[in-house]
Amino acid sequence: MSQKKTPEIIAEPRVVLERSREWRSAGKSVGFVPTMGSLHAGHMSLVDRSVSDCDRTVVSIYVNPTQFGEGEDLSKYPRSFDEDLAKCAGAGVDVVFAPSDEVMYLKDHSTFVEVGGLTQVMCGLSRPGHFRGVTTIVAKLLNIVQPDAAYFGQKDAQQLAVVARMVRDLDIPVQIIGMPIVREADGLAMSSRNKYLSKPDRSAALCLKRALDAGSALIDGGEVSGQLVAAAMAEVVVAVASAELDYAMVVDPVTMDDVEEIDREVMLALAVWIGSTRLIDNCLAEPK
Amino acid sequence: MSQKKTPEIIAEPRVVLERSREWRSAGKSVGFVPTMGSLHAGHMSLVDRSVSDCDRTVVSIYVNPTQFGEGEDLSKYPRSFDEDLAKCAGAGVDVVFAPSDEVMYLKDHSTFVEVGGLTQVMCGLSRPGHFRGVTTIVAKLLNIVQPDAAYFGQKDAQQLAVVARMVRDLDIPVQIIGMPIVREADGLAMSSRNKYLSKPDRSAALCLKRALDAGSALIDGGEVSGQLVAAAMAEVVVAVASAELDYAMVVDPVTMDDVEEIDREVMLALAVWIGSTRLIDNCLAEPK
């Protein structure tokens, strides 16, 4: 699977666009994986899929400041460029796009892309402005890379839904592909933010997966009330002293609207603070 | 100059994208003129320039509802598709893109592109939401047409500045080209909205050009106060009984910021109500 090659490292948007256009002119398909670096097995599953689907793969490594709120973890967000690069090389990535803030946001930058509705719930409530930052940087990156397909992790399910909505609404000619959550052996969803967790926090963090399992089990057992399933998930989290629930919800996987009666596929979604680290997780579930 | 050909009329975004990609694969450059139809000599100067600059030209004809405010002239905006088509044919246009509202804005459309700062003054003040509608539809159209260059009239100078800012900020790979205002023999700037004017209103409307001339003459004469020049322009308009001034301003042509001291090229800009018709006009001026 892994086809070692040295990716070209590009900092200039213009050069990435040039490369992408050269490839396209030569009839090559282009896959794109936008990341904030600190690459883990979740990211690499996206990269592997892109390398396998497309003739050329671009990975962007850019910690986007506009998707962090005041007091969030922008400055301490983990950065590991050399390791990330080695992983990209191992996976057969063609270009790593690693721009500076100065290039991505000019001093008088004043344009933002905003998706209404499904950004106003869940993580959008806890992190005002977050999704505006996400959609703006993703729009920029898609314009720069001009990919045929872009790969996103289902772990950030609301982000995936928001990006898909933006791409549809703005007619951006790219296929958005969501990939399954990758988990540690004990069930914790892979996240760059797991690095923040102390040993006891790491153990407390398992309550997210346990809560999802509890919710899924209820639905498997015939429960159809979204509210009851959400409450059962919340209960699992609340029982853990070092965990603080942000939200536990049963929602429509496309619109992120609350589901009252579980009569179709739904998403169980959680956000939980473990100490000063905010973790999210989710799964899909179908009524019997 | 005019090279009569029958343009292909396309209603489906997907088909326009296909056509544009075919052209690009064949090494052809693509020019694009977005319009709301009701084509006049101003539009046609953009079309001629695109046809002369580019191998292929797409003209969109679409009265975009999201750039009209409540109580504005969306429903009565002039529509003349057959004449527009004949003009496009005469000018050598390759594709006329004429989509329906249903295709451009799905029922649950919820994504908007917004430029801050320079949209909050002048026409942005009088027409809240207008520029958000403009940037959203232009972003969509650029994604659908994928042109190398897009042509806009300098008559809508603030629109041109806002679109240029959006394209820069979102890294949209297109060259935005502004083209000079085209005027009637008596000086009235060409506008689709001129069709609304009664005979006496048509004559009153000449106060816009007279006001710009008065402002320019002051600057030619050495006046360096933006405020005084703006006041002189306003005075010309206010003297006309059937004219009502919206704004008269001396601004920076890129940021649309008010200019206090005219020490560089500035834009004189006006918006005036003539009865129920709102007209705009502008010109550039440089200090001696």
Pair type for strands B95-97 and B8-10: parallel
Give the gap in angstroms from C-alpha B147 to the nearest C-alpha of chain A.
13
What is the interface pTM, i.e. ipTM, of the complex?
A: 0.95
pLDDT (0 to 100) of residue B3: 63
pLDDT (0 to 100) of residue B224: 97
pTM of the entire structure?
A: 0.96
Looking at the domain that runs over A192-282, which CATH code has it been given?
Answer: 3.30.1300.10
Which CATH superfamily is B8-179 part of?
HUPs (3.40.50.620)
Q: What is the pLDDT of residues B110-166, one digit of tens each?
A: 999 999 999 999 999 999 999 999 999 999 999 999 999 999 999 999 999 999 999
- Strand blocks (E) in chain B: 8-10, 30-35, 56-61, 95-97, 111-115, 149-153, 175-179, 243-251, 266-274, 277-285
Q: Is the pLDDT of residue B81 over 90?
A: yes
pLDDT (0 to 100) of residue A288: 84
Catalytic positions of B: 43
Mutate to test the interface with B, among A108, A110, A121 (most CBs of B within 10 A): A110
Q: Where exactly are the structural domains of chain B?
A: 8-179, 192-282
Q: Is the pLDDT of residue A218 over 80?
A: yes
Phi, psi of A286 (to 5 degrees): -120, 140
**For chain A, percent of residues with pLDDT exceeding 70:** 99
Look at B255 and A108 and tell me if their CB atoms are within 8 Å.
yes
Q: What is the pLDDT of residues A27-62, one digit of tens each?
A: 999 999 999 999 999 999 999 999 999 999 999 999
Q: Is the pLDDT of residue A1 over 60?
A: no
Q: Is the pLDDT of residue B108 over 80?
A: yes
Q: Is the pLDDT of residue B73 over 80?
A: yes
Give the gap in angstroms from C-alpha A168 to the nearest C-alpha of chain B.
9
Give the gap in angstroms from C-alpha B158 to the nearest C-alpha of chain A.
15
- Name the residue among A106, A118, A169 with its Cβ closest to that of B109: A169
- Name the residue among B17, B111, B168 with its Cβ closest to that of A113: B111
Q: What is the pLDDT of residues A175-215, one digit of tens each?
A: 999 999 999 999 999 999 999 999 999 999 999 999 999 99
CA–CA dist B38, B80 (Å, integer): 5
**Could you give the residue ranges of the DSSP H alpha helices within chain A?**
13-25, 41-53, 81-91, 101-104, 123-126, 130-145, 157-169, 199-204, 207-220, 226-238
Tell me the mean pLDDT in the region A57-73: 96
